[in-house]
Amino acid sequence: MTEAPQKATVLVADDDADIRVLVGIAVRKSGLELVGAAADGNEAWQLVSALKPDLVVTDVSMPGLSGLELCQRIRADGELSGTRVVLLSAAVDEGAHLAGLDAGAIDYLIKPFSPRELAERLVELTQPTTARP
Q: What is the per-residue binding string for another protein in 2-21, x denoting contact by CB under 8 A?
A: --------------x-xx--
Determine the size of the site formed for another protein (CB under 8 A). Answer: 18
For 8-70, the three-class secondary structure string (H helix, E strand, C coil) is CEEEEECCCHHHHHHHHHHHHHCCCEEEEEECCHHHHHHHHHHHCCCEEEEECCCCCCCHHHH
- Using the contact rule CB under 8 A, the part of the chain among 5-13, 44-52, 71-79, 105-113 near another protein is 105-113
Q: What is the per-residue binding string for another protein in 37-76, x denoting contact by CB under 8 A?
A: ------------------------x---------------
Rounded-to-integer distance, Cα 128 and Cα 71, Å: 22
- Using the contact rule CB under 8 A, the part of the chain among 43-51, 66-74, 93-101, 120-128 near another protein is 93-101
Q: Which of 107, 108, 100 is nearest to 71 (CA)?
A: 100
Point out which residues bind another protein (CB under 8 A).
Answer: 16, 18-19, 22, 25, 61, 90-95, 111-116
